[in-house]
């Protein structure tokens, strides 16, 4: 596949992204080359696009880790895949040797490789999966029932599933989800699927709350109302909720979770919080109430495989609100910045 390809190249400055012709990656004997069909824009891509210059990113970089692709070429040593397989990509793989990797927690590996952060990814016509990634199992074949556009949601869904497995919702548990963006809505889908009882979604954007209702929330609460906390207690009863999920990138979402959690309940801190924020709380709140606080970041390859197996049972197409060509990536980024729609993707081939 020697030649040139179109790619969105990010140079690290604010909105410093150019659509360029670059060399198509060369395929080594253990590598796989993907022809990208569609790639979702993650909140983290938009944050990098508008704010620029996060040190953990290579420079320049091709962003985009939410990928549906066809295999375009396989190296001579690759046996597990053939040209034409339709796949999605688990976008991280670890060193394979550290304490975390050998216990299946490669998301915690210190030397983790993340597509779209420290290696080039999917906002391009082609993308290379290096031998190490192929061997760790990052390429997962897609069921025909999952469309190309739905395939772009699977990475987010895998992260949600990772958090949900930690949160350990029991049949009938009440769940309050703070944040009705794509991540909060996926938490809603999965919570319902695994047997939660009443699920409440909380946000300040009315459009998103309406969407949550359509997707299956039992109750929606606008937290810009001063009475939001009472609304939750009057719906669930005076003890509060069994599980709470902070699914928005804000400290308030974490603090609000503690305001409604039941004694013995579990709080999942899912959304990353901007640097410089500190949580002030009385440790006795955790001690006397036996509240558990859990963290969740990215997903393991095991989570990703489970996600691909679950995907045909969800209506994921409805999550895609906008689709743009690679040349119009800025328009897509603007949709995310303005919190328009649920998910915006780039359609490439
Ligand atoms: Zn993502
Ligand atoms: Zn490792």
Q: How far apart are CA 10 and CA 167, in angstroms?
A: 36
H helix runs in 103-153, sequence order:
131-136, 148-151
State the distance from the centre of ligand 1 to the C-alpha of 152, rounded, in angstroms: 9
Residue-wise pLDDT for 32-63, tens only, equals 999 999 999 999 999 999 999 888 899 999 99
What pLDDT sits at residue 320?
Answer: 96
Segment 302-325 shows an average pLDDT of 95
Residue-wise pLDDT for 228-278, tens only, equals 999 999 999 999 999 999 999 899 999 999 999 999 999 999 988 888 999
State the distance from the centre of ligand 1 to the C-alpha of 155, rounded, in angstroms: 6
Ligand nearest to the CA of 300: 2
Mean pLDDT of the chain: 96
Q: Look up tokens 């500190």; give the residue.
A: 278
pLDDT of residue 297 exceeding 60: yes
State the distance from the centre of ligand 1 to the C-alpha of 158, rounded, in angstroms: 10
Q: How far apart are CA 44 and CA 219, in angstroms?
A: 28
Residue-wise pLDDT for 95-143, tens only, equals 999 999 999 999 999 999 999 999 999 999 999 999 999 999 999 999 9
- Here the tokens at position 125 are 């016509």
Q: Greatest CA separation found in the chain?
A: 65
What pLDDT sits at residue 2?
Answer: 63
H helix runs in the chain, sequence order:
43-51, 99-102, 131-136, 148-151, 154-167, 182-193, 206-215, 228-236, 251-260, 283-289, 301-310, 329-337
User: Nearest CA to 203 among 258, 249, 267, 166?
Assistant: 249
Ligand nearest to the CA of 64: 1
Its pTM stands at 0.94
Ligand nearest to the CA of 121: 1
Residue-wise pLDDT for 178-210, tens only, equals 999 999 999 999 999 999 999 999 999 999 999
State the distance from the centre of ligand 1 to the C-alpha of 181, rounded, in angstroms: 13
């Amino acid at each position: 596949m020697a030649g040139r390809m179109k790619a969105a190249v990010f140079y690290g400055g604010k909105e410093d992204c150019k659509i360029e012709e670059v060399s198509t990656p060369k395929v080594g004997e253990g590598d796989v080359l993907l022809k990208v069909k569609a790639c979702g824009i993650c909140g983290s891509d938009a944050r990098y696009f508008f704010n620029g210059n996060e040190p953990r990113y290579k420079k320049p970089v091709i962003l985009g880790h939410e990928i549906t692709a066809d295999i375009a070429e396989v190296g001579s040593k690759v046996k597990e895949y053939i040209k034409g397989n339709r796949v999605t990509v688990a976008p991280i793989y670890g060193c394979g040797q550290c304490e975390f990797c050998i216990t299946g927690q490669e998301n915690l590996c210190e030397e983790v490789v993340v597509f779209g952060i420290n290696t080039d990814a999917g906002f391009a016509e082609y993308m290379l999966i290096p031998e190490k990634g192929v061997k760790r199992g990052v390429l997962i074949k897609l069921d025909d029932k999952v469309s190309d556009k739905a395939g772009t949601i699977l990475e987010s869904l895998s992260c949600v599933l990772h958090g949900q497995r930690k949160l350990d919702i029991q049949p009938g548990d009440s769940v309050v989800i703070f944040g009705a963006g794509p991540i909060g809505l996926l938490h809603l889908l999965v919570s319902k699927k695994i047997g939660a009882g009443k699920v409440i979604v909380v946000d300040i954007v009315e459009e998103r709350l309406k969407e949550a209702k359509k997707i299956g929330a039992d109750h929606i609460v606008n937290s810009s109302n001063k009475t939001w906390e009472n609304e939750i207690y009057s719906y669930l009863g005076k003890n509060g909720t069994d599980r709470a999920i902070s699914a928005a990138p804000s400290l308030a979402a974490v603090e609000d979770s503690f305001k409604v959690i039941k004694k013995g309940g579990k709080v999942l801190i899912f959304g990353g919080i901007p640097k410089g924020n500190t949580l002030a709380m009385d440790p006795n709140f955790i001690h006397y109430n036996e509240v558990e606080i859990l963290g969740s970041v990215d997903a393991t390859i095991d989570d990703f495989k489970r996600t691909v197996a679950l995907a045909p049972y969800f209506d994921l197409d409805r999550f895609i609100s906008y689709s743009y060509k690679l040349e119009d990536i800025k328009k897509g980024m603007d949709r995310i910045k303005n919190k328009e729609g649920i998910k915006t993707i780039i359609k490439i081939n």
